[in-house]
Amino acid sequence: MNAYEKLLLENKAWSEEMHQEDPEFFKRLSALQTPEFLWIGCSDSRVPADKITGTQPGEIFVHRNIANMVVHTDVNLLSVLDYAVNYLKVKHVIVCGHYGCGGVKAAMSNQDFKPVLNMWLRNIKDVYHIYKEELNGIKDDEHRTDRLVELNVKEQVYHLAQTSIIQRAWKNDNSPHLHGWVYGLKDGLIKPVMEMTPNSPIDPLYHYEDL
């Protein structure tokens, strides 16, 4: 059997199991999704949003990219955010990084990963640049990477708050809450590192007045 065929077999078994547990499950979900959470996570295969949070299909709207970045020119991320906030009316947006992130490690190296990856990793290098004094003071490589993972999550939450999408929702709906979390590959535990409640103060440079 090819490796991919196993996935299809597993899918069949899962479908049957779900149907047995709750015969209305698929019928209900095919009609409507009302997730309360938008998850912006890393594409890393070891950090599956639903598994590590014990959520079921329909409970969490997911966007993943390398190193869980919120890049203000990324149409993919922004359309997911717009849809989740304005149509699904999610109450929480979670940026979840993870310790030992390969994208963060790559951005801390001086290796040339060729144009497209260089372009993406540049966004992480820019976060390092903001905190370089603190980071350069950490001698241990693993600790320095893990601290950048935390700081990167924090910056990406700020990036969310800097969008007109979030600022308009804060003004009109007093929602959503923004969260920055970091997942530990070694213990499977999530550590919350920051939170922004609706209408938290942001850098005036990024504040929109005429929403």
Q: Give the residue among 115, 119, 106, 110 at the shortest CA–CA distance from 149.
A: 106
Contact mark string toward Co ion, 101..120, x via CB under 5 A: x-x-----------------
Known active-site residue 22:
no
Q: Which of 46, 72, 122, 207 is catalytic?
A: 46
CA distance 160 to 82: 11
Q: Shortest distance, CB of residue 107 to Co ion, whole angstroms?
A: 11
Task: Give how many residues touch Co ion by CB under 5 A.
Answer: 4
Phi, psi of 13 (to 5 degrees): -65, -40
- Which one of 35, 37, 44, 96 is in contact with Co ion (CB under 5 A)? 44
Query: Count of CB atoms within 10 A of residue 81's CB?
Result: 24
Interaction of residue 151 with Co ion, rule CB under 5 A: no
By CB under 5 A, residue 60 contacts Co ion? no
CA distance 20 to 71: 42
Region of 41 please: left (phi>0), alpha (psi -120 to 50) or beta: beta
Catalytic residue among 63, 96, 101, 146: 101
Between 103 and 180, name the residue whose CB sits nearer to Co ion.
Answer: 103
Q: By C-beta, is 161 or 182 nearer to Co ion?
A: 182
Bridge pairing between strands 177-183 and 190-196: antiparallel
- 46 in catalytic set: yes
**Tokens 């998850």, residue?**
39
For binding to Co ion (CB under 5 A), which residues are involved?
A: 42, 44, 101, 103
- What is the set of active-site residues? 42, 44, 46, 98, 101
